[in-house]
Structure 1
Amino acid sequence: FSVLISVSELRVVLLGNSWSERSSVGNFILGETEFNTEEEADCCQRVRGQLKEKHIVLINTPDLLHYNISEHKLTEHVRNCVSLSNPGPHVFLLVLQPEDFTEEQKLKLCRVLKLFSDQSIDHSLVLISTPREESSVFLENYKHDPLLRDMIRKCEYRFLWQKNLELDELLTRFSQIVKENNGDHVICDVFEDTKSDLTSGLGSLKQGEVDSVRLDPFRAAVAIKSHTPLPVESTTNQSK
C-alpha cells in the first residue's frame, strides 16, 4: 500500500452482477458494515474510510448489468458515479459471480466501463466471488469458464479469488494498478462538464451533516455516507 504515498486518497468503484456481493466486498475492505447487503439501493452510494493511514473512498453502484436497464438510466447512474468519484476513480473492482455471469452481462460490463472512459479497463481488477458450491470441481470449472476468462483477459489478467482473500493482498493489487498508471486516476472526459456541475453542489456540504442529496439536472438521489471525518473537499482540487 506504500506505493499510494503520492495519492491523497484512493477512489474505488465497485461494479459487478450482484449487489449483495459488491456490498459484502465493500464492507470487507472497510472492516465495518456500511453497505446494506440485503436491500439493493437504486442510487450510487459513497463511503469514506481509512486504511493503513490512507484515505479510501468506495462507490457502490446499483445493478448496471440488469437486462432491462434503459440507456438513459445507465448513463444517469454513470454520471452520478463520476460526480461521487471526482476527480476520477483509481480502480474499478469488478466483483463477479461466475455461476450467474452471462454473455449479456459481460457485454454490458464492457459497455459500462467504456461509458466511464477508454482508460477504465487499464484500471480494472476482477474479483471472483466464492461460488455457492465451494467444491474443488466447481472452482476448477470456473477457472475455464469462457466468459470469465475473456473478462480477465480484457483486464490483462488482473484478477483475484475472493475465497480466503486477505485485505493486504487486495490493497497490494490496488497499489499495483495505481503504480502501473503512474498514480493517475481515470479521466472521465465524456462527462467532464457534468462532473463539474454536479460536484459544485457538494463542495459546501460538511461531511457527517448530510446523508443524501438530490443532484440536478439529473434529479437522481445519491446516498453519501461518511465513514471517517475528513476536511471538506474543495471542488477545485485537482489532486490525483
Structure 2
Amino acid sequence: MAAAASVEHQQRTSSLELLPPNMSELRVVLLGNSWSQRRDVGNFILGENVFSTEEPDCCLRVRGRCRWKETVLINLPDLLHPKNSEDKLTEFIEHCVRLSGPGPHVFLLVLQPEDFTEEQKRKLQTVLENLGDRSFQHSLILLSMPTKENVGSKKNYKERPALKHMIKMCRYRYVEQENLELQELFTHLARTVRENNGEHVSCDLPENAAVGSHQNLSLQTAVPANFDPDRAAGESKKTF
C-alpha cells in the first residue's frame, strides 16, 4: 500500500510540474460532435457525475479538482450540429468566452471519429478561429472509441481526410480514449499548457455582445481531512 502511494505521489508531482507554479486553475473547454462523449469525458476528468444525460441548450461551467489541481470545465452544446444557425453559434461562442475568462488554457476536442464529417471539420475550424488566433495551438484531440459496428475501421479512421486534417491543424496533438487513464489524460492536458508557456487563449468579445444564458455547477474542491492516498492511487487508474 505504501509503495502504491509512493508511485501515486511521484505521478502527481510529475504531472503538476508541467504546469506553472503560479497557475491558480486549469481552464478547459470541451468541444466535439457528441454530447454523450463530452459528458462522459467531463465526468471522468472531475470524478463526479456533474453532467447529466440530457443535452443542455446552454453552456455549462463546472469547477472541481483533477489530479489535485483546481480545474474549470466549460462544456458547450453541440456546436457542430447542422441545426444551429450562425446567430446561435455566435451566441454559444460568446457565452463560452465569458465562462472561460480570462481565457481557456486547453480546448479538448472530443471527436467520434467515424461520425466526423468534412462539414463538421469546417464548422469546428470556424468555431476555433472565432475563439482566438492561437486556439489550434491550445487544442488537444481526444478520439473516442469507434462504435461496435465500426470497430473494424479503427486502424483507418485517422486516415480519413477530415480527421487527418484536424489532427494536423492541432499540431498532431491527440490521444485515444481506449484504456485511457486519468493520469495520462491530465498529463496530456498539462503538456499542452506547458507547450504554450502556461498562457491562455485571449478571446475578445464585441462590445455590444448580449449576455446569454448559462449554468454554473459546483463541486466540492477541498481535499478532505481523511484523504486516503492509497485510495487515490486506485482512482487515478480509472479508465474509460
In structure 2, the CA distance between the partners of 1:80 and 1:32, relative to structure 1 (3 Å rule), is same
Q: Which residue matches 1:158?
A: 173
1:21 aligns with 2:37: yes
Matched to 1:225, the amino acid is L
Distance 1:116 1:135, change over 3 A: closer
How far has the Cα of 1:136 moved from its partner?
A: 6.0
* Paired AA for residue 185 in structure 1: H
1:56 Cα deviation from its structure 2 partner: 0.2
Q: Tell me, yes or no, if structure 1 residue 86 matches structure 2 residue 78.
A: no
Give the Å deviation of 1:52.
2.7
Matches within 5 A, 1:45-194: 45-133=60-148, 137-189=152-204, 191=205, 193=207
Q: Is the 8 A contact 2:145 2:178 kept in 1?
A: yes
CA offsets 1:73-114 (integer angstroms, 9 cap, x no match): 111111111111110000000000011111100000000001
Which runs of no fewer than 5 residues in structure 2 stay unpaired?
1-14, 223-240
In structure 2, relative to structure 1, the CA distance for the partners of 1:31 and 1:80 (3 Å cut) is same
Aligned pair count reads 206
TM-score by length of 2: 0.81
Task: Note the alpha carbon deviations across 1:155-205, whole angstroms, 9 max, x for none.
Answer: 01000111111111111111111111111000013x1757xxxxxxxxxxx
Amino acid at match of 1:227: L
The aligned amino acid for 2:87 is H
- Are 1:218 and 2:233 counterparts? no
Amino acid across the alignment from 1:226:
S
Q: CA deviation at 1:219?
A: 5.2
Q: Match for 2:94: what amino acid?
A: R
1:6–1:183 contact (8 Å) kept in structure 2: no
- Aligned counterparts of 1:134 and 1:53: Cα–Cα separation in 2: 38
The letter of the residue matching 1:28 is F
Q: Which has the higher contact order (CA 8 A, sep 6+)?
A: 2
CA distance in 2, matches of 1:30, 1:80: 22
SS at match of 2:71: strand
Q: Normalising by the residue count of structure 1, what TM-score does the alignment of the two structures yield?
A: 0.81
Q: Sequence identity of aligned pairs in percent?
A: 55
* Greater Rg by CA: 2
Distance (whole Å) between structure 2 residues aligned to residue 90 and residue 193 of structure 1 = 23
Alpha-carbon distance in 2 for matches of 1:79, 1:121: 18
Counterpart CA distance in 1 for 2:149 and 2:129 is 33
Distance 2:89 2:150 in 1: 36
